Amino acid sequence: MELKNNTILITGGATGIGFGLAEAFLREGSTVIVTGRREGKLLEARAKLPGLHVRVCDVADAAQREDLAKWAVERFPALNVLVNNAGIQRDIDLTKGVEDLLSGEDELKVDLEAPIYLSALLLPHFLRQERAAILNVTSGIAFVPSVKSPLYSATKAALHTFSIALRQRLKETDVRVFEVVPPMVLDTGLNAEGRAKSRAAAGGVPDEVRFAFLKPPSSATFAAHVLAKLAEDVPEIGYGTSEAWLKAPREELDRMFRQMNGG
Ligand SMILES: NC(=O)c1ccc[n+]([C@@H]2O[C@H](COP(=O)([O-])OP(=O)(O)OC[C@H]3O[C@@H](n4cnc5c(N)ncnc54)[C@H](OP(=O)(O)O)[C@@H]3O)[C@@H](O)[C@H]2O)c1
């Protein structure tokens, strides 16, 4: 993928990995628009990255998604890259029936429905561009599921499969499909509640210490790695553990699953 002179829409780009990607793409000389639900976070991001465009949007809401796509194409006719990055992760215990499922935001809507619909909303426009790309942010957990986050794991595995199918469908066009597969990244807001609980259960040992053996990259380091791989047209981009899991045979994935989920 050519890194310069793109017009890029990043969902959930005000914080964490999305912000890292926004910063890296801006540095390469692209126009970058980020979305999210919290206006305050978007304004903070714009203050840190002058030139960044921001737009409030809840991608779980069908009408807001449609408005976003329409606004982005009208306001930025050169729009040619969508980064489906917005995501949430929750600990859900299905042995409680539907209690946990219904007690918070819907991962199916945010992590799976939104990227699929945003891709479909923008594809006709992308097909009219000289070159375009869709980047879907999945997770190492797409390959080694987390028992604590069964729905999150399932949405990421589904987005992985969707990315393969869409890439093949578009192979004769000028729209490329990339999958970005982050490993654990700690300087983000993902699953703050679940991470706080597991930290407390581990006696308050900071995540940086507990997970030092995994060598988690910062959002900025991971984003720089993603851009380097995009420049080489690597379709599925992992890092560290997620890179290993992406390529691992089934026996190795089963071993990692047992190690990660205790048993
Ligand atoms: N951090 C990790 O260890 C890790 C590992 C693997 C994969 N990932 C993936 O990386 C992506 C980015 O996550 P992150 O770790 O950088 O966490 P993060 O800092 O919490 O970023 C997620 C972003 O998504 C936005 N968002 C959430 N729900 C939204 C909605 N309904 N509509 C619009 N925006 C929404 C959030 O902003 P608002 O709350 O303001 O809307 C936030 O800016 C996610 O897809 C995540 O699954 C992360």
Per-residue tokens: 80 = 């040619």
Question: Annotated active-site positions, please?
Answer: 152
The answer to whether residue 263 scores a pLDDT higher than 90 is no
What residues line ligand 1, using a CB cutoff of 6 Å? 11-12, 14-18, 35-38, 41, 57-60, 85-89, 110, 137, 139, 182, 184-185, 188-190
How many percent of the chain have pLDDT more than 70?
A: 100
Mean pLDDT over residues 23-47, rounded? Answer: 98
Angle at which helix 16-27 crosses helix 39-48, to 10 degrees, equals 30
pLDDT at 89: 98
pLDDT at 262: 84
> Of 247, 235, 186, 192, nearest to 215 (Cα)?
186
User: Over the stretch 181-220, which tens digit does the pLDDT of each residue have?
Assistant: 999 999 999 999 999 999 999 999 999 999 999 999 999 9
Between CA 43 and CA 234 the distance in angstroms is 33
What sections of 9-75 are H helices per DSSP? 16-27, 39-48, 62-75
Give the predicted TM-score (pTM) of the model: 0.98
Mean pLDDT over residues 235-245, rounded? Answer: 97
Mean pLDDT over residues 141-152, rounded? Answer: 97
In the reported structure, the alpha carbon of residue 98 is separated from the centroid of ligand 1 by a whole-number distance in angstroms of 24
In the reported structure, the alpha carbon of residue 87 is separated from the centroid of ligand 1 by a whole-number distance in angstroms of 4
The answer to whether residue 222 scores a pLDDT higher than 80 is yes
Find the farthest-apart pair of alpha carbons in the chain and give their distance in angstroms, rounded: 55
pLDDT at 128: 98
Mean pLDDT over residues 58-70, rounded? Answer: 98
Position in ligand 1 atom list of the atom nearest CA 111: 45
Task: Could you please state the CATH topology (level 3) that the domain comprising 7-261 is classified under.
Answer: Rossmann fold (3.40.50)
Between CA 247 and CA 253 the distance in angstroms is 9
> Of 115, 130, 128, 131, nearest to 166 (Cα)?
115
Position in ligand 1 atom list of the atom nearest CA 13: 43
Position in ligand 1 atom list of the atom nearest CA 219: 16
In the reported structure, the alpha carbon of residue 19 is separated from the centroid of ligand 1 by a whole-number distance in angstroms of 10
Domain locations along the chain:
7-261
In the reported structure, the alpha carbon of residue 112 is separated from the centroid of ligand 1 by a whole-number distance in angstroms of 13
Per-residue tokens: 81 = 């890259």
How many percent of the chain have pLDDT more than 90?
A: 98
User: Over the stretch 112-141, which tens digit does the pLDDT of each residue have?
Assistant: 999 999 999 999 999 999 999 999 999 999
Position in ligand 1 atom list of the atom nearest CA 182: 6
Angle, CA 23 vertex, CA 129 and CA 21 arms, to 5°:
65
User: Over the stretch 150-192, which tens digit does the pLDDT of each residue have?
Assistant: 999 999 999 999 999 999 999 999 999 999 999 999 999 999 9
Choice from 10, 11, 15, 179 to test ligand 1 binding pocket (greatest atom count within 8 A of CB) = 15
Q: Return the SS3 of 77.
A: coil
Mean pLDDT over residues 78-93, rounded? Answer: 98
Q: Give me the residue label for tokens 């945003």.
A: 118
The answer to whether residues 250 and 47 touch, using CB atoms and an 8 Å cutoff, is no
Per-residue tokens: 213 = 């053996």
> Of 179, 140, 147, 174, nearest to 163 (Cα)?
179
In the reported structure, the alpha carbon of residue 50 is separated from the centroid of ligand 1 by a whole-number distance in angstroms of 22
